[in-house]
Structure 1
Amino acid sequence: KSAECNTKDIKFKDTDWTLDGEKAILDANKVDKSVVVEIIRISDFIRNPIFFINDDFPGELKQGGLGDCWFLAALAAIEDFPRVIKSIAVARDEINGIYGFVFFIKNNWVGTIVDDYVFVKQNGHYYFSECTCRRETWASLLEKAYAKVYGGYEKLKGGHVGEAFENLSGQTRVVYNCSDILTSQTKKDALWESLLGRMNHHIGFGCETYPKPSNGVNKGPDGLILGHVYSVIRAVRFKPSNALNVQLVEVRNPWAHAEFTLSWNDKDTISWKPGYATKLQHSLDDDGSFFMTYDDFLTHFKRIESCAFQFAGECYEVFSDPLDFPDRKQTITHDKLPPVVYIYHSFTG
């Protein structure tokens, strides 16, 4: 496509999947036309757009006028894993507006290409998702490509974050019901030590709130949006002055605003003593990111979904209970992984 565009001296346009066609928007009347000005190339309304401003740190995203928090929460959870995003966004020609992506859909890797046409609102923002710095385009274009392989933007309304993780990684999600974890201190400790503590090692986490009640209330008394999906950014042990260590979980709302309002919320001056935010490298602005205690995290969210993002050439440790002699046979199973080599060793003593 790039060569063809260069030869003809034209930019790429995906004529098979245009934003004004039924394939992209199944019901165009559901797009709020009062705020949409036009369908336009990113380069025609954003000055000097770029896919990544910083290749090592993809910019934060913000959800737009589509109920795909489950997908955007998955993307936000892996923002700190640039290698993961680059493995999905496999090719691009920004001059000609051509972007190639791959997703794991129905047990197969599916490739697709999109152009850089987007819906634009009257205020100059994208109608669907965008990065908090609008010059950065990766989130908008990745969402567009995902909508294309899913059959349209409307197909992205409602879903589970674990499904998005699977589509982005080719791996299998793990689901934890928070009410079950809370029944056992052993389970709480195991989840913290084995999973949340390894969050920075290419493991993505998302969490879902409880559904909206029949009266249609959108926000709970804790400030969390009901029936919504959040990203889990990190888990830390923090030692406040003259106090015991506290287990904290940083969570992010893909709306990029509307935060938790109980203990350790960004306006909680009792918890946030001077200097704490600097130590935790956390902004107290209303940007959608907030901390909460581990217990509050398990209490106020309904379930957690996680997925490992694995690459060929990397090493992963597998721990198991010791095998009783003389039974030396052990079975390790895997599915949808890259080619791997298992090294088995044992010791006595």
Structure 2
Amino acid sequence: TSLNFPYNIKNQGAGNAGANYTGLYLSTDTTLDSSDTYLGLDDVNVLTSGSSSTESASFNLSQTLAAGNYYLFAKADGGNAITESDETNNVYYQAITVISGNNTDWFSINLRDAQLITLTRSLATDGNLSRNDMIALFRDAKDSAVIDANELTDLRTIVSNATLFTMQDYVRVLSDYVVNGNTANQWWTGGGTTRTSLGNLYAGSSDIQMEKLVGKWFLGTDRPDLRTEGDIANQGSGSYTGTKTYRAVSGSLFQNGISADDVKQGAVGDCYYVATLSSIAMEKPNYIQNMFIDNGDNTYTVRFFNNGVANYVTVDNYLPTNSSGSLIYASSGQSYNNSNNELWVALAEKAYAQLAESGWSRPSNVNNGYGSIEGGWMDYVIKQITGLNSTFNSILNMNETQLINLVNSNQILTAGFVNGGGYGVYNSHAYTITAYNSTTGKFNLRNPWATSHADVTWAELTTLKAYIIYSNT
């Protein structure tokens, strides 16, 4: 079996270095001497002053080489053919592990912990490290109830080489949050009202901390705090003060496609968020479809965009219910054990509540809780869910034709009212603009409550001083 590896060589001298070769050796210690095993040489072309070159080398290992820890030495100008002002900086070594006499590879060269080397090699035989593979590696590092320095370094090395293992983007990002940290790692909420300290992973972290980080990012077990102020626009049923309990909810992500009418706001004051979801579902349903990754174990990884860069959180199928088992937030009224439940709206709301703790989506409220997503504007949500740019405009700066053209396009289109209600429109509330009736001259405003929709004229919209928020494409 061959030993394959890249290395970098640089001419730090003032003059050009002619063609030469690098000598490669295996040693059992950190001193290169005549007792070490000579592997061979690797040719290097001319290097001008200050230039460097990335080389690659491949050598067959002896079948009799004993398994164990070794040091791979590279010696520049291995034949001492070039006169140098400093002959002491030509040698570099890297610790490697030989699992068996003919099985030194990327894993043994780049990783340190023998158990992780064996498991990673086994999991990556198909050329891929999947979500479940990474969870297995994180849990393997919990041996002895502590994550030691070698294990932490190895996990970070694996994540930094995600492309080598054709790791899916969401797996890479979530793994990075586990091993390299995230603002949200500061706390663990777990669906309760009192959060506890968690912290980023470090050499010496406990197995409990590791399991919670895996739960937070891969399993959705760090559920949001259930407390809310409620929907101030809906004085009749916009709040809920009874018992709130998480229950595992039956159903599927989508039922009969994706529709604006899937959206029904509950006792969370996030009309701006769910009204935007409704418009995206109507105009650009592929963004909703691609927002979710069904992990096949009653968990869903949900994608958001931060300045155009994909970020992810994972939620499980436990959703807020009342004492009788009916959902009380998004998709309110559905029974938790109804197999016909459509879950995407409630899961998107829960994911947004969890995302707040990361610090960028809701900078004024960075707790993992439903209360953290109450109150806001639709332009931010458009960007965060689709990555598209958006426009926030007062209707007083528009004309009727512009709004009609927006309705007739497939742009995400919403309206917000904060200057008073009337004409069937509620103040402090957001709507999806779904249609324009040229016969009546009225615009249809879909209420995210899934009831009390409004049809209003241009004149009425201007009287209400509506704000029109839409995607630019």
Q: TM-score, normalised by structure 1?
A: 0.61
Q: For residue 114 of structure 1, report the CA deviation from its aligned partner.
A: 0.9
Q: For residue 79 of structure 1, report the CA deviation from its aligned partner.
A: 2.1
Residue number in structure 2 paired with 1:36: 243
Partners of 1:250 and 1:221 in 2: CA distance: 14
Pick the structure with more helix per residue.
2
Change (3 A) 1:69 1:30: closer
Pick the structure with more strand per residue.
2
Look up the SS of the partner of 1:223 in the other structure.
coil
Check if 1:290 corresponds to 2:454.
yes
Q: For residue 72 of structure 1, report the CA deviation from its aligned partner.
A: 0.7
Q: TM-score, normalised by structure 2?
A: 0.46
Residue number in structure 1 paired with 2:394: 177
Preserved contact between residue 395 and residue 465 of structure 2 (Cα < 8 Å): yes
Partners of 2:372 and 2:394 in 1: CA distance: 26
Preserved contact between residue 228 and residue 371 of structure 2 (Cα < 8 Å): no
Pairwise mapping of residues 174-253 of structure 1 onto structure 2 (< 5 A)?
174-181=391-398, 187-193=399-405, 195-198=406-409, 201=410, 203-211=411-419, 220-238=421-439, 246-253=440-447
Q: For residue 232 of structure 1, report the CA deviation from its aligned partner.
A: 1.1
Preserved contact between residue 327 and residue 334 of structure 2 (Cα < 8 Å): no
Preserved contact between residue 61 and residue 132 of structure 1 (Cα < 8 Å): no
Structure with larger Rg: 2
- Tell me the percent identity: 20
Partners of 2:309 and 2:316 in 1: CA distance: 23
> Which structure ranks higher in relative contact order (CA pairs < 8 Å, sequence separation ≥ 6)?
1
Pairwise mapping of residues 20-169 of structure 1 onto structure 2 (< 5 A)?
20=192, 22=195, 25=224, 28=227, 34-43=241-250, 49-57=251-259, 59-80=261-282, 81-89=284-292, 91-93=293-295, 96-130=297-331, 135-151=341-357, 152=368, 153-169=370-386
Which stretch of the first structure deviates more once superposed, 101-110 or 23-32? 23-32
Per-residue CA deviation, residues 75-111 of structure 1 (Å, 9 max, x unaligned), is 111222321211212x1145x2110111112443201
Unpaired segments of 5 or more residues in structure 1? 8-14, 44-48, 182-186, 213-219, 239-245, 257-286, 310-349
Partners of 2:449 and 2:380 in 1: CA distance: 20
Preserved contact between residue 98 and residue 114 of structure 1 (Cα < 8 Å): yes
Preserved contact between residue 251 and residue 290 of structure 1 (Cα < 8 Å): yes
Unpaired segments of 5 or more residues in structure 2? 1-129, 137-186, 196-221, 231-238, 336-340, 358-367
Per-residue CA deviation, residues 165-215 of structure 1 (Å, 9 max, x unaligned), is 11111121112211233xxxxx3323323x2221xx2x1111111246xxx
Preserved contact between residue 400 and residue 458 of structure 2 (Cα < 8 Å): no
Preserved contact between residue 98 and residue 113 of structure 1 (Cα < 8 Å): yes
Q: Kindly provide the amino acid, as one letter, of the partner of residue 61 in structure 1.
A: V
Change (3 A) 1:55 1:25: closer
Preserved contact between residue 104 and residue 170 of structure 1 (Cα < 8 Å): yes
RMSD: 3.2
Look up the SS of the partner of 2:388 in the other structure.
coil
Preserved contact between residue 98 and residue 116 of structure 1 (Cα < 8 Å): yes
Preserved contact between residue 433 and residue 443 of structure 2 (Cα < 8 Å): yes
